Chains A and B, each alone.
Chain A
Amino acid sequence: MSQELRQETAEQPESGLHSKGLSTGTVGVVGLVVIGISCIAPAYTLTAGLGATVAVVGTSLPAILLAGFIPMLLVALGYRELNNAMPDSGTSFTWATRAFGPMIGWMGGWGLIAATVIVLSNLAAVAVDFFYILLAQLTGNQAIADLTKNLWVNIPTTLVFIAAAAYISYRGLNATKVFQYVLVGFQVAVLLLFAIMAFTSSTPFDRTPISFDMFNPASVDSFGAFAAGISLSIFVFWGWDVTLTMNEETTDPAKVPGRGATWTVLVIIALYLAVSLGVLYWAGVGQTGLGAGNEANQESIFAVLSGPIMGPLAILMSLAILSSSAASLQSTMVSPARTLLAMGYYKALPPSFAKISPRFMSPSVATVVSAAAAAVFYVVTRLISENALWDTITALGLMICFYYGITALACVWYFRSELFASVRNFFFKFLAPLIGGVVLLVMFFSTAVESMNPDYGSGSAIGSVGMVFILGVGVLLLGVAIMLYTKWRHPAFFRGETIKTR
């Protein structure tokens, strides 16, 4: 299976670079677990995703978290196959193009860009919230924490955070090993501390005993709620697949990725269960006061609960979430920039997107565009939605289901001629990605239809159509429009001249 991505190299000067510039064999199992956890950013995903998930599934939260991992696993197995077959392209855009042709490939790339742009705006917003909460805790002046509710403070601060992350990723500054270990260790320790303090608290807000039913997916009220819950819990595991796709970087490519992925997911699931059970036990799912079902608490559950549960130690939680979301903000910024760069390079977008800064060796136009898109998305959502964080997370779940679904099916179609060549192929290239892809696309359509209801998510609506639907589907339609425009102005990619369909 040879690479047919064409590179426009006139001559072949002595660059010696074509072997990828990856440091080989430095990451062991522990290192991989740290990388996996840092990509998942549990402190951030829990504060952003837990409330929204409780809102749809109530006390079945643990069950949904467990069930949400399954499609993630199935899709990630397909990812691994594609990554092994085309290690140098490494993105939904090129994979889906090679499997399904330019149009679907383009939309797969757009889905990834949209998802990352949405998560960027959410990460920045969460970082800003906890930045002010932390300042309030440090100074003992509660009024500072409320500053984040003032749009004239909130929006400019968020834009500054986004700009800073874009600048750092443009300058190509990298996180070091020590930095990641400290960040991840601190995050995990604080989350565990939170769970322990929730269970040992003498004054729970609404003590809810842990029951077996909480782990039973069948106890969710409706299929719609189940689907919405799954698409949210996909978000909390988003990042895990990175452990499966790291090969050359590990000390033993045959063993380390598998073990690292397994340990990562065990640690993460244990952490999620501990924290979510702690939240349910302490706060219950009531819709009033500190209850996890209270709409006012849902956009950032720890912002509300860490104070009452952890007392003065709540400052640690603020630090953990601020550091985890700020670090993710920077590392996530690279993703849409690189996909835009790849799309520009293969002529799927105007050629200026393919510009690389010769000094910093990073995408220039693409980085600025990603940051600007995240900023615009944030400002628009913040201005028109009553509960922007909540709605963006739900829209994000939609988008992840969309591009993951397409990528998983791309795996099946790409390998169509060899699916039944061996038992291994049958499971990893056919069955797992097929089920995962179909499940995610079903979740996507189901959630999209549900979200047309104006009461969906935070209950914001334009006309009589739900905000989440407008955000999610609007972004996809915008993609279609840009695609058609590009097809008209720069048809080379759409004629299959730059990337060949297999």
Chain B
Amino acid sequence: MNLLVGYTADQRGAEALELAAALVQGTATPSLTIGIVVPATTPFSAIYPGGDHGFNSILSAKVDEWAVTALAQVPQGVSAKVVARSVSSVAEGLIELADEVGAHGIVLGGRKRHRAGFFMPGAVANALLHASPVPVFMSSPQALASLRAANGQITRMTAFVGDRPGAREVIASAARFATIRKVALRVATLVADSDVSDPATELDPHLVRTKAFLTELTQSMGLRASVEVISRQSLDEAIDSLAWEAGEIAILGSSRLAANRRLFVGANAQRILGKLHVPMAVIPN
């Protein structure tokens, strides 16, 4: 498996690299492409006086230094190369690079930022989540702590799905990763009381239906997966009560995919992304 790392020469970049290495290790041909995207200068943002001031040659020397640092962080057994690209937008550059090197996914490091209680992905992650043709993996310091607790070994894939037919793609993607890595697959769905109009009478039948639907779906796909339907009063409580193994990866469908599925619409999806403490992948439509 080949993953593209959206690398910056700081803690985030190191974290992205660590997650990416953990993801590819143990696959048939583990390789990483470390992408450094340098913002392209546009002539219409002319700098005066003096223009370039030698900045681009200094920057390119700096990128070479960063490349050496990055390669030194790649573990034994994983082949890696550094590619730098000058494009006006970082997300655009990463998508271009992923396409050129045939990457199976893009890995980003990041920090959790919350605004008014909602998780805000960084600008680059946000742009990628709306445009990337390949899965986007995101790490955070807490997520890495979980991975490190498992000695950098990935132990299980958890696919977050709703109870509607579109769940198939997310489960299939998660299953592909699980098969490549020879780890267990879990399918989880979160139900809040407000998902049904009258919780007292409708909740239990809803839960039974959902569980039956997902079990049938995974079996029809020929998968051995554990299915968990978590029901709590609120979504937050449901997220919190889901148990995680060290080294687990969460997989969600992208927002475009989510358009016709309740669980991932807007605020809910952001809640889940914000409350998870494991590395996450978002699968495009």
Contact indicator A23/B60 (Cβ below 8 Å): no
Q: Which residues of B contact A354 (CB under 8 A)?
A: 58
Chain B residues lying within 8 Å of A359, measured Cβ to Cβ, are 8, 10, 12
User: Which of B9, B10, B36, B44 is within 8 Å of A15, CB to CB?
Assistant: B36
Q: Are A39 and B48 in contact (CB under 8 A)?
A: yes
Are A17 and B63 interface neighbours, CB within 8 A?
yes
Minimum Cβ distance to chain A for residue B177 (Å): 28
In contact, A13 and B64 (Cβ under 8 angstroms): yes
Instruction: Mark out the residues of chain A between 23 and 47 whose CB falls within 8 Å of any chain B CB in the assembled complex.
Output: 23, 26-27, 31, 34-35, 38-39
In the complex, chain A residues 344-359 whose Cβ is within 8 Å of any chain B Cβ: 345, 354, 356, 358-359
* Cβ B52 vs Cβ A331 within 8 A: no
Q: A22-B43, A35-B43, A88-B54 are in contact. Are A10 and B68 (CB under 8 A)?
A: yes
Distance in angstroms between the alpha carbons of A354 and B55 in the assembled complex: 10
- Does B225 sit within 8 A of A, measured CB to CB? no
Q: How far is the CB of A418 from chain B (nearest CB, A)?
A: 23
Contact for B39 among A9, A27, A172, A334, CB less than 8 A: A172
Determine the chain B residues whose CB is within 8 A of the CB of A311 once the complex forms. Answer: none
Q: Judge if A249 is at the interface, Cβ distance under 8 Å.
A: yes
Q: What residue of chain A has the Cβ atom nearest to residue B83's Cβ? A: A14
CB of A335 within 8 A of CB of B84, answer no
**B246 interface residue per 8 A CB criterion:** no
Q: At the interface with chain B, which of A150-158, A237-245, A271-279, A485-493?
A: A237-245
Contact call B86/A14, Cβ cutoff below 8 A:
no
A384 close to chain B: CB less than 8 A: no
Contacts of B1-48 to chain A: CB distance below 8 A: 8-10, 12-13, 36, 38-48
At the interface, yes or no: A177 with Cβ under 8 Å from chain B?
yes
Given known pairs A88-B52, A356-B62, the reply for A21 and B68 (CB within 8 Å) is no
Is there an interface contact between B57 and A21, defined as CB atoms closer than 8 Å? Answer: no
What total of chain B residues lie within 8 Å of the partner, measured CB to CB?
A: 45
- Chain A residues bordering chain B, tally (CB within 8 A): 66
CB atoms of B55 and A17 under 8 A apart: no
Cβ contact within 8 Å between B50 and A15: no
- Asked if A7 contacts B49 (CB within 8 A), the reply is no
Q: Are B82 and A15 in contact (CB under 8 A)?
A: yes
Contact between B51 and A90, CB atoms less than 8 A apart: yes
Q: Are A15 and B45 in contact (CB under 8 A)?
A: no
Q: Which of A21, A27, A328, A331 contacts B40 (CB 8 A)?
A: A21
B49 touches A15 (CB 8 A): no
Contact for B38 among A17, A180, A245, CB less than 8 A: A17
Instruction: Given A22-B41, A175-B45, check contact A88 B68 (CB 8 Å).
Output: no
A23 and B9 alpha carbons, distance in the complex (Å): 25
Known: A14-B81, A14-B83. A116 touches B49 (CB 8 A): yes
Docked-complex contact B51 and A358, CB < 8 angstroms: no
B50 x A174 contact (CB < 8 A): no
Is the CB–CB distance between A89 and B54 below 8 Å? yes
A203-261 contacts to B, CB under 8 A, are 238-239, 241-242, 245-246, 249
Contacts of B12 in A (CB 8 A): 359
Q: Does B56 contact A (CB under 8 A)?
A: yes
- How far is it, in angstroms, between the C-alpha of A17 and the C-alpha of B9 when the chains are bound? 16
Chain B residues with CB under 8 Å of A21's CB are: 38, 40-41, 56, 86
Q: Cβ of B43: which chain A residues have Cβ within 8 Å of it?
A: 22-23, 26-27, 31, 35, 246, 249
CB <8 Å contact, A15 and B67: yes
Which residues 318-363 of A have a CB within 8 angstroms of B?
A: 328, 331-332, 334-335, 338-339, 341-342, 345, 354, 356, 358-359, 361, 363
Minimal beta-carbon separation of B87 from chain A (angstroms): 9
Tell me which of A5, A175, A239, A338 contacts B55 (CB under 8 A). Answer: A338
Contacts of A335 in B (CB 8 A): 47-50, 53
As a 0/1 sequence over residues 84 to 107 of chain A, the CB contacts with chain B under 8 angstroms (1 = contact) are 000111111110000000000000
- Chain B residues lying within 8 Å of A242, measured Cβ to Cβ, are 46, 48-49, 51
CB distance from B272 to the nearest CB of A (A): 26
| Any A CB within 8 A of the CB of B221 | no
A16 x B53 contact (CB < 8 A): no
Can you offer 9 A-B residue contacts whose CB atoms are under 8 A?
A11-B64, A14-B82, A35-B44, A90-B50, A239-B49, A335-B50, A342-B53, A342-B55, A361-B59
- Those 3 A-B pairs whose CB atoms lie nearest each other, nearest first: A21-B86, A338-B53, A174-B45
